[in-house]
Structure 1
Amino acid sequence: MWIGYKILIVSHLITEIWAEKQYLSQREVDPGADFTRNHTILEGTRFKRAIYKGQYCRSFGCCEDRDDGCVTQFYEVNALCYCDTFCERENSDCCPDYKSFCRGEKEWLPHATPWYTEDRWTAQNYSQFWGMTLEEGFKYRLGTLPPSPMLLSMNEVTAVPAIIDLPEFFVAYYKWPGWTHGPLDQKNCAASWAFSTASVAADRIAIQSKGRYTANLSPQNLISCCAKNRHGCSSGSIDRAWWYLRKRGLVSHACYPFLKDQNTTNNACAMASRSDGRGKRHATKPCPNNIEKSNRIYQCSPPYRVSSNETEIMKEIIHNGPVQAIMQVHEDFFHYKSGIYRHVTSTNEKSEKYQKLQTHAVKLTGWGTLRGAQGRKEKFWIVANSWGNSWGENGYFRILRGVNESDIEKLIIAAWGQLTSSDEP
């Protein structure tokens, strides 16, 4: 009987190995002494390159000749696809966007959209913006006031260690899985000042506490209770938001969720806290969401300004977590769908209203490098917006790195969580 079991086990293992080879070796590669590359998407940075579902060569880049490392995950069919010229053989295993992106063949453009750049960031008309004028988009979908003189006069901090071998591709989520938070949707509440501040603070506290406190923090708590930002959903400043986080603190997003109806009655502050005399505050009211029982108050240290140098920003993110950035929003940014964003002058450039821009607060979570159709490399930041997951690349966007595109590198803010000895791991 034992011999029979061993035969079954060996047979099962052989079947599993054969199935894996069939799945991973779609190119009929003959593994030999010189072929040691494992094509599983979980090896090294392979899975990290396939962040944007539906975007393949646009996210990974294009390769010449046969390059078995030029591979990414084809989510729709649970398989691998390639972005090298070898994929164009009879049994093609090219990615869906290979011909349009790598070979420059014409693809169907979004209807009535004037923005489609030579570097191929694509645009889309979003239903959430339908019926809005450009002025209304600026008024309702942004909401961060220009940086105050106090913020701009802050000394820049340089990250340590001074020298580090930075990777070509990095996303905070992969270094700290479960400790960083995805984009929320501010809807028509002009409060990116609150959404970005709360999100950066939540990530930093989770990372600093090594996962002990992973709650996303409540932007509604800031919108309703930060008396120094009385405008609420009609814009606010990030320096006052960070002041509130230091002095009063925030509860979790689950405790104080974002209100769909931001009228005056609903927008009254529904939380209160008191100090224990040592700088730590404790909630004196239950959560507005009565299903959530934890009304813990989370606080941060005073914010600090990170150097605007590209390398210094990268070092800050890889060591300490995502950072906050203030950027200039032009009219074309509302239509961003995918690719590496850079401002493109619209066909209406002669109209004065299309020359306007406003400030917006976002969260930098990582960076990368893309090999373009001409073989040149394009560096980019990976940034979380606050317009929901249906906008951009699942709520994120990529933007040119190292050239201060749209002022994205001009003012970078970060902070530490205010944790006691009992809070820290």
Structure 2
Amino acid sequence: MKNLWITLFITVLAVQSGVAVFNPPDQFWRHVQHNDKYYEWDSGKGKATDKLYDCFRKRKHVEEQDDLPVLKHKFGSPPDIPKSYHSFNKWHACRDVLRDDSVDEGSCDASWAMIPASMLSDRLCIESNGSFTTRLSPEDLLACCSECATQQNGSGGGVVQKVFQFWMEQGIVSGGPYNKSEGCMPYSKSSFVDQKSSKCELRCTNPKFRTSYKRDKHFGSLSYRLPNDELQIQFEIIKHGPVVAEITVYEDLLYYTWGTYEHVVGEKIGTEVVKIVGWDSRESVTAQTDNDRVNYWTVVTSWGDEWGRDGVFDIVRGTNQCGIESKVRAGRRFPWLDKDEYLEIRAPPSPRSAERRSLLVAPIWFIIMPVINSVVLI
């Protein structure tokens, strides 16, 4: 009984402080194996699983405020949305950029920088009709966007909204993946291997690149979020290209190998930034009839080719699975909107909202603490 109360105390304390609670990986893996016949997805455990566990344990979890304007598409009638769609099938001139599978953060906790840089590279190519095929540098964000990082080291997590502000105000230079001499600031060994972003020296780190850091800056003029609406997100992707989303990560996702993911078991261990590039559906493996299908988004992570399908996975679409449809963001090089688009300016959240949440939680401690004290003293 005493151990039960102590466990309860630790769990409540973790929830109160925002610290993730982890199951023992080996025990949890056996539980996933035992139950995966009831899933729409297959599971496996590899090197990437252990690496991701370690990453989420070290991460400083910060609740991100979001006051970006909301962009909405106006529909006179329901638009014709294809049942199956992938971005690279539409913009042929940008296929090499859109099909790039080199989004690999290595040992760094850098999805907040890598995924927006990848998405903005896609969109700059699309807006230029294929004439701009340069990849923007996540290393520039890790090293030089000090306001983006949640810790002194950019490899310890960051804030996506600040990335868009940096892109519009200071610009992002070019830079390819680790171990490739592409662009002004390629992804560094320091970030990929040593879990520590390089220093910001306002110069190109690639000696083969002949343009200066200042002249290589690429700017945007518009950033926004989309409504929590499947149709709005699909229409945005069709018209303008991939989008960035933020998902809640549960332990079972770390064991995904193939299929349509939906959370089944395990604790919430953090959030992750991903890129939605398309959608489709497939026959359900758990349904009673052969006609049942599961709709899904096709999603790119920054976890490298040792996880999932070379860093890509499918997740249930249309039900806000893991919050994937509730925090979708995008940006454009040019500021103008199409005639069927408009922006809703969001009022920033009141600082008193956090105080109210604290006031709601505080009375719980007056009930729990005396009970815990009495049990521990027995």
TM-score computed with the length of structure 1 as normaliser? 0.61
Select 1:357's aligned residue among 269, 287, 295: 269
Residues 85-117 of structure 1 show CA distances to partners (whole Å, capped at 9, x for unaligned) of xxxxxxxxxxxxxxxxxxxxxxxxxx8572525
Identify the residue that residue 332 of structure 2 maps to in structure 1: 416
Considering only aligned residues, what root-mean-square deviation do their CA atoms show, in Å?
2.5
- Once the two structures are TM-superposed, the CA of residue 196 in structure 1 deviates from its matched residue by 1.2
Identify the residue that residue 278 of structure 2 maps to in structure 1: 366
> 1:329–1:360: 8 Å Cα contact kept in structure 2?
yes
C-alpha spacing 1:113/1:338, structure 2 compared with 1 (3 Å): farther
Select 1:250's aligned residue among 140, 157, 172: 172
> Does residue 218 in structure 1 map to residue 137 in structure 2?
yes
C-alpha spacing 1:261/1:117, structure 2 compared with 1 (3 Å): farther
CA distance in 2, matches of 1:419, 1:157: 12
> 1:144–1:360: 8 Å Cα contact kept in structure 2?
no
Select 1:339's aligned residue among 241, 259, 268: 259
> 1:299–1:418: 8 Å Cα contact kept in structure 2?
no
Give the alignment of 1:131-280 within 5 angstroms.
134=53, 136-139=54-57, 145-148=62-65, 151=66, 153-160=67-74, 162=76, 163-176=78-91, 177-180=95-98, 181-230=100-149, 231=151, 232-253=154-175, 254-255=182-183, 256-262=185-191, 267-271=198-202
C-alpha spacing 1:313/1:419, structure 2 compared with 1 (3 Å): closer
Select 1:114's aligned residue among 32, 56, 69: 32
CA distance in 2, matches of 1:266, 1:381: 31
> 1:337–1:391: 8 Å Cα contact kept in structure 2?
yes
* Count of residues in correspondence between the two structures: 282
CA distance in 2, matches of 1:143, 1:214: 34
Identify the residue that residue 23 of structure 2 maps to in structure 1: none
Residues 325-347 of structure 1 show CA distances to partners (whole Å, capped at 9, x for unaligned) of 0100011111111100001114x
- Once the two structures are TM-superposed, the CA of residue 363 in structure 1 deviates from its matched residue by 0.5
> 1:117–1:344: 8 Å Cα contact kept in structure 2?
no
- Once the two structures are TM-superposed, the CA of residue 128 in structure 1 deviates from its matched residue by 3.4
> 1:179–1:207: 8 Å Cα contact kept in structure 2?
no
Identify the residue that residue 104 of structure 1 maps to in structure 2: none
Read off the aligned partner of 2:277 and give its amino acid letter.
T
Select 1:326's aligned residue among 221, 246, 254: 246
TM-score computed with the length of structure 2 as normaliser? 0.69
> 1:229–1:240: 8 Å Cα contact kept in structure 2?
yes
Percentage identity across paired residues of the two chains: 28
> 2:60–2:157: 8 Å Cα contact kept in structure 1?
yes
- Once the two structures are TM-superposed, the CA of residue 187 in structure 1 deviates from its matched residue by 1.7
> 1:368–1:381: 8 Å Cα contact kept in structure 2?
yes
Identify the residue that residue 299 of structure 1 maps to in structure 2: 219
For structure 1, the 5+ residue unaligned runs are 1-110, 272-284, 347-354, 421-425
- Once the two structures are TM-superposed, the CA of residue 357 in structure 1 deviates from its matched residue by 2.4
Read off the aligned partner of 1:362 and give its amino acid letter.
V
Select 1:404's aligned residue among 317, 320, 336: 320
> 1:144–1:236: 8 Å Cα contact kept in structure 2?
no
C-alpha spacing 1:239/1:154, structure 2 compared with 1 (3 Å): closer
> 2:108–2:195: 8 Å Cα contact kept in structure 1?
no
- Secondary structure of 1:229's partner? coil
- Secondary structure of 1:128's partner? helix
- Secondary structure of 1:325's partner? strand
CA distance in 2, matches of 1:372, 1:323: 26
Read off the aligned partner of 1:261 and give its amino acid letter.
S
Read off the aligned partner of 2:238 and give its amino acid letter.
I
CA distance in 1, matches of 2:274, 2:195: 26
C-alpha spacing 1:133/1:227, structure 2 compared with 1 (3 Å): closer
- Secondary structure of 1:328's partner? strand
CA distance in 2, matches of 1:210, 1:344: 42
Residues 207-228 of structure 1 show CA distances to partners (whole Å, capped at 9, x for unaligned) of 0111111111111110000021
CA distance in 1, matches of 2:195, 2:293: 50
Give the alignment of 1:30-69 within 5 angstroms.
none
Identify the residue that residue 386 of structure 1 maps to in structure 2: 302
> 2:190–2:196: 8 Å Cα contact kept in structure 1?
no
- Once the two structures are TM-superposed, the CA of residue 419 in structure 1 deviates from its matched residue by 8.9
> 2:113–2:141: 8 Å Cα contact kept in structure 1?
yes
- Once the two structures are TM-superposed, the CA of residue 126 in structure 1 deviates from its matched residue by 1.8
CA distance in 1, matches of 2:210, 2:269: 42
CA distance in 2, matches of 1:143, 1:290: 34
Q: Greater relative contact order (Cα 8 A, min sep 6): structure 1 or 2?
A: 2
Read off the aligned partner of 2:174 and give its amino acid letter.
S
Read off the aligned partner of 1:357 and give its amino acid letter.
I
> 2:262–2:315: 8 Å Cα contact kept in structure 1?
yes
